[in-house]
Amino acid sequence: MNQLLTVITECLVSGAIFSSLCAAVVVPPLAWFGVRALAPAIRAMTDDRHWQAALATCAAILPGSLFLALVVLGIVSGASSPCLQLLAGKVLYGLLALLIVGAIVRSLIRAYRRERQLYRLLGTSTRVTGRAAEIAAEVGVPLFEVDDGETLIVAAATPYPGVYISTGALSHFDDAELRAALFHERAHLDRGDHRIAPWLYFITELLPLPVDSLVDTYRCSREFCADRCAVAHVKRADLASALLLVARSSSISFVTSAAFAERDAICGRLAVLLQTEPEQQPDVRRRTFVVAALCALTAVGLGIPLIATFVLHCNVLRLVA
């Protein structure tokens, strides 16, 4: 009992392990409540798709990022803590290390499963030839053909970075539709969406806190952004026609849900592509509010362990004196 009281006192005075452990448990859920409160404002940013995609991503990864930062901070700063000289302190430090290792391993396993699923679908692809290869060279993207009867086209980093298209899509698209779809996928590659998504899923899965609505908002927004980039090079009707062909595909696979055929957004995308009215001007005040709120949540989340350490240190010294 005396040793336990001693280690608690030492940890309170040093603040490193105790405050970081508590912060890693308490702060991410609080941040999660904060981003959930911001989610409606982010979803309402339909007039500001580029910022919507970026802010939805930042909000979705905020709880997991704070968890990583606080636990790593606790491990690094706790290594020199006086309470590690006692058994109870070592147990606390070990629990802190196991917490982060367990979360990372869980996310890595899920990421590996997604990678294997994607590889099983795209791993047998071959480089396209003929007219499709000429159009791909014109657009400026590597194009690979997947032996699949469904109408599928997707930008992916596995097994090689590029655009993957099914034999079904090649047989249904005419040259104009193929060019439009490839410009859409090139926009994803230029934006780095195929690289952002794996990190987004990895960080959001570190904690059992659902942020699916924010992830869906990002996935939907990136499609609108890619459409906007594509129509700078092709006719809106050609892209809409290609989108309709994909929408008529009979199955919903992992890959189609991750790229060109984001089905929840298809009606909205078609409405934007075929509209004749001028685009809405972004609501800058709403954008500024969301950015400021996310910055404030991040600052408060990172500042809590520092404030807690200072307060606990002062209070314990006062009691000892």
Res 261 pLDDT > 70: no
Q: Residue 242 CB: number of other CB atoms within 10 A?
A: 28
Digit-coded pLDDT (tens) for 203-239: 999 988 899 999 999 999 999 999 999 999 999 999 9
Res 321 pLDDT > 70: no
Digit-coded pLDDT (tens) for 265-301: 788 888 888 887 777 788 899 999 999 999 999 998 8
Q: Residue 94 CB: number of other CB atoms within 10 A?
A: 10
Res 11 pLDDT > 60: no
CA pair distance 22, 59, nearest whole angstrom: 22
Query: Which whole-number Å values give the CA distances from 31 to 23, 108, 133, 187, 219, in the listed order?
Result: 11, 23, 48, 32, 22
Give the pLDDT band of residue 258 (cuts 50, 70, 90).
very low
Give the pLDDT band of residue 254 (cuts 50, 70, 90).
very low
Give the pLDDT band of residue 3 (cuts 50, 70, 90).
low
Which of 21-30, 54-63, 87-96 is the least confident region? 87-96
Query: Which whole-number Å values give the CA distances from 30 to 99, 204, 208, 290, 297, in the listed order?
Result: 18, 15, 13, 17, 9
Q: How many residues does the chain have?
A: 321
CA pair distance 291, 285, nearest whole angstrom: 10
CA pair distance 62, 198, nearest whole angstrom: 15
For 161, half-sphere exposure in the C-beta direction (CA atoms, 13 angstrom radius) is 10
Res 308 pLDDT > 80: no
Dihedral-angle region of residue 239 (phi above 0 means left; psi in -120 to 50 means alpha; beta otherwise)? alpha
Give the pLDDT band of residue 24 (cuts 50, 70, 90).
confident
| pLDDT, mean of residues 86-112 | 80
Helix/strand/coil for 156 = strand
Digit-coded pLDDT (tens) for 137-150: 999 999 999 988 77
| CA-based torsion, 127, 130, 136, 138: positive or negative | positive
Beta-bridge partner residues of 321: none
Query: Which whole-number Å values give the CA distances from 140 to 104, 163, 228, 238, in the listed order?
Result: 37, 10, 18, 18
Strand ranges (DSSP E) for the chain? 126-127, 143-146, 153-156, 162-166
Give the pLDDT band of residue 80 (cuts 50, 70, 90).
low
Res 8 pLDDT > 60: no
CB-count burial class (<10 Å; 0-12, 13-18, 19+) for 43: middle
Q: Residue 90 CB: number of other CB atoms within 10 A?
A: 14
Dihedral-angle region of residue 192 (phi above 0 means left; psi in -120 to 50 means alpha; beta otherwise)? left
CA pair distance 118, 255, nearest whole angstrom: 7
CA pair distance 208, 204, nearest whole angstrom: 8
First-residue to last-residue Cα distance in the chain? 22
| pLDDT, mean of residues 115-119 | 87
3-state secondary structure 212-234: HHHHHHHHHHHHHHHHHHHCCCC
Q: What is the pLDDT of residue 128?
A: 93
Percent of the chain with pLDDT over 90: 42
Q: What is the pLDDT of residue 252?
A: 47
Res 84 pLDDT > 80: no
- Contact between residue 46 and residue 52 where contact means Cβ atoms under 8 Å apart: yes
Res 181 pLDDT > 90: yes
